[in-house]
Chains A and B, each alone.
Chain A
Amino acid sequence: MRKIFISIAAVLIAGTAVSTAQQKPAVDRAKADAAVKSAFPSAPADWQPRLVQDETMKQCSAHDNLPPKAVGEAIQKRERATIEYPADGQFMGDWKRGERIAQSGYGLRFTDYPPRNPNGGNCYACHQLTKAELSFGTVGPSLLNYGGIRKFGAAETKAVYEKIYNAHASYPCSLMPRLGSNKVLTIEQIKDVVALVMSPDSPVNK
């Protein structure tokens, strides 16, 4: 996978000139911001941040998620700096809890307040994970046997933690949500999902 990633990255770098040229003749950003603000007039005060874009969102939107090299590197650096690590240095929790988190799409929708359940990670919406679950999306790559393929390596386990915490740190403008940095999942929850992906006991790797 790493090899593939590198070769794809090479293609990307070669394609930088093209993606700069493709950058949309943006509508006045202030206009888009205003349109979004007025489309959600009932949004309470603590929802206002959802109406504005942070720097990474702006850059990814402007480049249709294919940032030129320098922008991509700036995004990676900025996003990596937001990753918080478990205090005990352990990256894996309980895969059974992880499976529940991966199944759940609960949380942060306007029908989810006040919260009745913990937030989910919604992994199955985009990824195949266990063989048993056939209802999975294909926005992201299949993660079937992900840990096994990587020999359950420690560095790879840490990388999965980082991927879930902030996908842009390794893949700028990833379509995967920044589940840790955006406070969708807690550190404990992320550890549980890492176990689902990387533990030898997990049905993902059976």
Chain B
Amino acid sequence: MKRRYLMFAVLGCALVGAASLATAQDTTEKALEKYRQMLRDDPWSNPALLDADRGEVLWKTAAGPNKATLEKCDLGKGPGVVDGAFAELPRYFADANRVMDVETRLMWCMEKLQGIPRAELINRPFPGGGQPVKNLGAIATYISSKSNGKTFAARMERPQEKEVLALGKELFHRRQGPFDFSCASCHADAGKRIRLQGLPFLGQPAEAKKVIGEWPAYRVSSTHVMTMQHRLFDCFWQMRMPQMEMGSDASVALIAYLVKNAEGGKIDAPGLKR
């Protein structure tokens, strides 16, 4: 990474156009800053909170062939405990014998408690632009909002968790597909951008801490809540990879890696994104 940076710096100095470059980026940043200010003035103005409310209702409403609610779902702190649970995910669940992030765990609960077939849950799980987040995503938004203000504290010290973390790191750096991209191609350097979109340095705690705790987030450009699984699905799309399956081992491993990098970072969910 160093050499690219150096080369860029050298070229940058020779550039006459450097001033206009900064202006264009500033405009985008300013627009986003306006949204953020709006949120600081009125934390309740984030449209994602409507989905968190919807999620809370869904959590408590009997559904599926078993006509059961999710209130007995164990998110890691015991059946039905929602407060603070998100801050300790992903984690290993003995009942499923798997490490799970919030969405994967919700899939498991919806399948086991409500009897909703897995095939149904993974079929088109993410909304198109302008469509509201699906039910599972709304529930995930509710769960995450109940850890708001806490810090990420997933310890991931169990052997199963360590294994998943190592896999996540490996996958983050794995180059693949016709564009030769890895996650690190776009997220392993500070201050880079694709077109005008800033690219957070997700392999590094400082930036991961800032952004990971904001997911799920209301995405201004697509006017809906996007969950972390959906975010990864979208980045894989940019990588020219096929459709990532929600809850796949690879998705959980990548989320575990990102959350580990964000350890100690504050949860500010649901957040607001470009």
Interface residues of A (CB under 8 A from B): 1, 4-5, 8, 11-12, 24, 26-27, 31-32, 35-36, 38-44, 47, 50-53, 57, 60-61, 64-66, 108-111, 124-126, 128, 131, 134-139, 141-142, 144, 175, 177-178, 182-184
Contacts and interface: CB of A to CB of B under 8 A. Distances in A.
Interface stretch (B76-84, B192-200, B213-221): B192-200
A124 B195 contact: yes
Contact of A144 (B15, B175, B185): B15
Contacts of A125: 194-195
B194 A141 contact: no
A109 B193 contact: no
Given A38-B249, A135-B195, A138-B192, A177 B181 contact: yes
B194 A61 contact: no
Contact of A137 (B17, B184, B193, B240): B193
A131 to B, nearest CB: 6
Contacts of A36: 171, 174, 176, 250
B97 interface: no
B253 interface: yes
B204 to A, nearest CB: 13
Nearest to A57: B175
Interface in B136-163: 163
Nearest to A51: B176
A40 B17 CA distance: 43
B94 interface: no
Nearest to A149: B14
A175 B185 contact: yes
18 contacts: A4-B10, A32-B167, A32-B171, A36-B171, A40-B242, A40-B244, A40-B245, A53-B176, A61-B175, A108-B240, A111-B237, A125-B195, A134-B24, A137-B197, A141-B4, A144-B17, A175-B185, A182-B178
Contacts, number: 157
Nearest to B7: A141
Interface residues of B, number: 56
Contacts of A53: 174-176
Given A109-B240, A134-B20, A142-B15, 17 more contacts: A8-B7, A27-B163, A32-B171, A38-B250, A39-B245, A50-B240, A51-B176, A57-B180, A60-B180, A61-B175, A108-B178, A135-B196, A136-B196, A137-B192, A137-B193, A141-B7, A175-B4
A135 B24 contact: yes
Given A108-B178, A131-B17, A144-B17, A42 B242 contact: yes
A47 B242 contact: yes
Contact of A24 (B173, B180, B243): B173
B29 interface: no
A178 B180 contact: yes
B3 interface: yes
A192 B64 CA distance: 56
B191 interface: yes
Nearest to A42: B243
Given A109-B238, A125-B195, A177 B250 contact: no
A89 to B, nearest CB: 27
Contacts of B243: 40, 42-43, 110
Nearest to B12: A142
Given A36-B171, A43-B242, A134 B21 contact: yes
B177 interface: yes
Given A8-B7, A109-B237, A139 B185 contact: yes
